[in-house]
Structure 1
């Protein structure tokens, strides 16, 4: 009977060993490949057949999302019109484990005629692809993880990691930032965390819960109930935020048996509450809330006047949490 656990561990051990060996091949050829991509005025066009093509799709996507314009071109389709995707200024990243993929080799004469530099990823430095390339990245492996030694397993993993190394090295060289990353990922949770400001999620204008210091606690409670944030701000005649009063403050007052109908909220409010400004990233505001163990927060302008408010639930609904 097959020992599934032992089989799985054997695969991991083989691939770990080959990835360790890959580190020695991040060398001068790798640096030359990075320089070619960095100098590229067009796009990095990734191409490969079969499993190399599948890995190529992922490498192209990683390059594009980390600041290096790139796309995948199927070499078979390139032979039937898709070569029109290529233009002067592009760089071709050609992936072939054997270096003898017929579909790739057949487009190389046109690539050379267009004077497009070629970076080859192959396990055979003496292959036809390697001989035609300007730079060769060695993705050779001693052993595939497949017990038959046939299915591309370790080799595809090594190719993928080489592609990741290339993308991240270019990211570092370009000074690509988290803001740049967010701009290419606006629809996902990463984009929401990196792009959303509190201005995008906060309540504004008449939706803000606000009372004056001379209003009673019971009046403040009505304002809290109407606006649904679990708190109200307390502001002076100039509109400056003096403090806040929350559901938690109320519970403490009831324990102290304070008369909520006769006591002014200014006497019991929390002064010096934690606030942010409208341009603050929502994720940074969330970190502040967690740090201070609060569930809601006011947004103030440069004059200390409240311009917005939000709570944890609103951040959750916006996808920040």
Structure 2
């Protein structure tokens, strides 16, 4: 029985690799030009329409219904997700499915944002008719000011014409990115208009990396007996026992009123190493006025302080009194770092 021939993998020639990079650069240049054209249009005729769309959504009692078909449908689904995650209640309705019962998802208090580059998708006709019948506000995002969708809309966001990145000027590439960019711009304008804060954001993003970054020091800190604390005047031998038993590599030093006034770290031990180190008071070794944080500080900000200060733990205080301690390892376990 003949042995099978080994597979031969041909590596790309330098010319082929260079051609691929050149193609990628042409694509990015074309798509970048499309986004730049939107920015220019917003400073001209698109600006008033954008403001009108903002006001319509901002004042709506209901939700934003984002709809589209094909590539525009995929973009619409993402825009709806961005609206919802930034404080504007929204969901996606497929333009074709709308005619088969999904129109029942849309109420008179809602605002419809319909995406169609040509503005002439026949599947959207019933949705337009429904919006007119029940006086539901309709915002169009299209490149054709004279299209059926644009004429039917209460507000028409007419995007500037742009060449697709596809060399045949056919595959939706630049146009899809432009629709997405304008949708993102509208979502962020609404976020800022509503004063949507990082606290609000954390409520809607409790999971994953974002959820971890939006936790607070109070969610991760160790409290009570776990906090390594000793008063002024403590001998270094006792402070070292406290430091070792609590496992944070440091011990906070408090004055008679319980206010944090210093900290002894592994680094302080190395800097003050001498034969009688264990017998001297912590007052002679501690770093005064240590960095502390409040319990309401975001975990992401705590991580920034740790990294910029090149330290591994932060004591959490309330009215200058220690109430907790956060270690770099706590942030790692929570997925912040």
TM-score (norm 2): 0.86
Deviations 1:36-92 (A, max 9, x none): 112211011011110000010111111122222111001222111111110111111
The residue matched to 1:73 in structure 2 has which SS? strand
C-alpha separation in 2, matches of 1:268 and 1:289: 21
Structure 1 residue 274 displacement after superposition: 2.1
Pairing 1:1-321 to 2, within 5 Å after superposition: 3-26=19-42, 27-194=47-214, 196-236=215-255, 238-254=257-273, 257-302=274-319, 304-321=320-337
C-alpha separation in 2, matches of 1:99 and 1:156: 14
Q: Which moved more, 1:98-107 or 1:2-11?
A: 2-11
- The answer to whether the Cα contact below 8 Å between 2:162 and 2:175 also exists between their aligned partners in 1 is no
- Against the structure 1 CA distance between its residues 239 and 90, is the aligned structure 2 distance closer, same or farther, given a 3 Å change threshold? same
The residue matched to 2:125 in structure 1 has which SS? helix
Point out where structure 2 has 5 or more consecutive residues left out of the alignment: 1-14
Deviations 1:104-138 (A, max 9, x none): 11222222111101111122222222221112111
Structure 1 residue 153 displacement after superposition: 1.0
Aligned-pair RMSD on alpha carbons? 2.1
- The answer to whether the Cα contact below 8 Å between 1:212 and 1:266 also exists between their aligned partners in 2 is no
C-alpha separation in 2, matches of 1:34 and 1:136: 12
- The answer to whether the Cα contact below 8 Å between 1:193 and 1:282 also exists between their aligned partners in 2 is yes
Deviations 1:139-193 (A, max 9, x none): 3524211112221111111111111222122223222223222322221333332
Q: How many residues align?
A: 317
- The answer to whether the Cα contact below 8 Å between 2:138 and 2:153 also exists between their aligned partners in 1 is yes
Deviations 1:282-314 (A, max 9, x none): 333333334443322222232x33221122222
Point out where structure 1 has 5 or more consecutive residues left out of the alignment: none
C-alpha separation in 1, matches of 2:332 and 2:242: 23
The residue matched to 2:118 in structure 1 has which SS? coil
Runs of 4+ in 1 over 4 A off after TM superposition: none
- Against the structure 1 CA distance between its residues 73 and 267, is the aligned structure 2 distance closer, same or farther, given a 3 Å change threshold? same
